[in-house]
Structure formats: C-alpha cells, structure tokens
Amino acid sequence: MQYLQNVTLLGAGQVNKTIFADALAVAPHLIAADGGAKIAVKLGHSPKFIIGDFDSVDLATLAKIPVDRRIHIAEQDTTDFEKCLRLISAPVILGVGFLGSRLDHQLSAISVLTKYPDKRCILLSKADLCFHLPPQINLNLPAGSRISLFPFAPVQGQSDGLRWPITGLQFSPSGQIGTSNEVTDGPVSLRMDGPGMIAILPQKALPAVLRALQPH
C-alpha cells in the first residue's frame, strides 16, 4: 500500500493526545496496528486500514471498520508493528503508541526498525523520538541538543557537529554505545558504514528529523 504523503501508524500502547495530533498534522493518512484501532475510534478517528492478526482489537471496534479496510495477517511470528511496516510505503511513517510503559514492547518495536532500514519510520513518545539512521543524514539542531546513538549491530560511522565525534569508533550493542552526545553547532552530519544504528532525540526535534528524512 503506497502513499504519496506521510503516514501516521497508531499502536495500542500509551498514546499522548498532543503527540498524536501533531503526528496527524504532518502525516495525515492514519493506519492502525491491530489494537491501535480502538484508540483511534475512541479519539474520534476512523483509520484508513487496520492491519494485524486481530488478537488485540475488540469486536465492537472491528465492526466500525469496513471489511475492505481490514487487513488480517494470521501469522504470529512477527509483531503487528512489523506487519504494518512491511506493507506500508510512504515518504515517512510516524509511529505513535509503540513507545510506552512496556520496555519489552519498546525494544521489540525498535528492533523492527533495524530489520527494515530502508523504511523511513520515526517512533514517537511524549519525551523522545527514535529512528534508524540512513547511510547519511544532516540534522539542523540547536547547539546543546541531546542526541544519543544506540547500535543494534556492529557499525561504524563519521560525524560533524557533535561534542564527542564518532569517527573511528566501533559501535556494538555490548560494546561502544553513544548515549547522551550533544550538538555543538549545526548542521549535524552523520554517515554510517552500514545498518543497525538507532538515533534517539528529544521529541521536540521532530520537525528537524522529519525534514532530514523526507525524500528530496
């Protein structure tokens, strides 16, 4: 399913109404991942599609979504988030309701980002956002901004504009990580030699990240 505009993907986790509204303002096509449909309907929205194995959406909610907008994928080897990410093609996907109170759910969602490095997907919470770094990115961020880099695979890279440059470092999940780096001057330029690096920034950095990830 292809979209020319950004997509908001709604999960069944913690959803901040303001963050959800901000996402819809820049990503107007709403798709629900299974139980996320219940939250969408509760907040007065009808998703264009609901995707998942339907084990966490109640029948009352499902009845409010036309049959031709339900995409049922029975297999349970992948999460509903992965099922959605696999099917959706859009300039950028904003994921709301995937970062929240359950740490295992958060880690699961972030690990999916590393499985689909070519998908431009930003996961949003009230405090933070995260996304998989593309091979190269330039971010216009104010001096002093926090930017953390967490590797889900062995990876190396180069940087400009960071207080602690990453050039020459060998990152790995059980070795070197890049928590709480800081912008010295902009733009920040990051170049990675392969997939696997997750960037974590404050949620207020969304406009800058969105501009940087948007296809040109």
CB of 106 closer than 8 Å to CB of 100: yes
32-49 pLDDT, tens digit each:
999 999 999 999 999 999
**Would you list the DSSP string of 51-63?**
EE-SSSS-HHHHH
182-204 pLDDT, tens digit each:
999 879 999 999 999 999 999 99
pTM, full prediction: 0.96
166-182 pLDDT, tens digit each:
999 999 999 999 999 99
* Strand residue runs (E) in 53-154: 70-72, 93-96, 121-124, 128-132, 136-139, 146-151
Q: How does residue 100 score in pLDDT terms, banded at 50, 70 and 90?
A: confident
Task: Report the amino acid identity of residue 213.
Answer: L
Q: What is the pLDDT of residue 102?
A: 85
Torsional sign, CA 92, 96, 99, 102:
negative
Q: What is the mean pLDDT of the chain?
A: 95
Q: What is the pLDDT of residue 84?
A: 97
DSSP 3-state percent helix, strand, coil across the chain (nearest 5) = 25, 30, 40
47-83 pLDDT, tens digit each:
999 999 999 999 999 999 999 999 999 988 999 999 9
Q: Which domains does the chain have, with CATH numbers?
A: 7-126 (3.40.50.10240), 136-201 (2.60.120.320)
* Cα–Cα dist 59/46, whole Å: 15
Average pLDDT over residues 2-25: 95
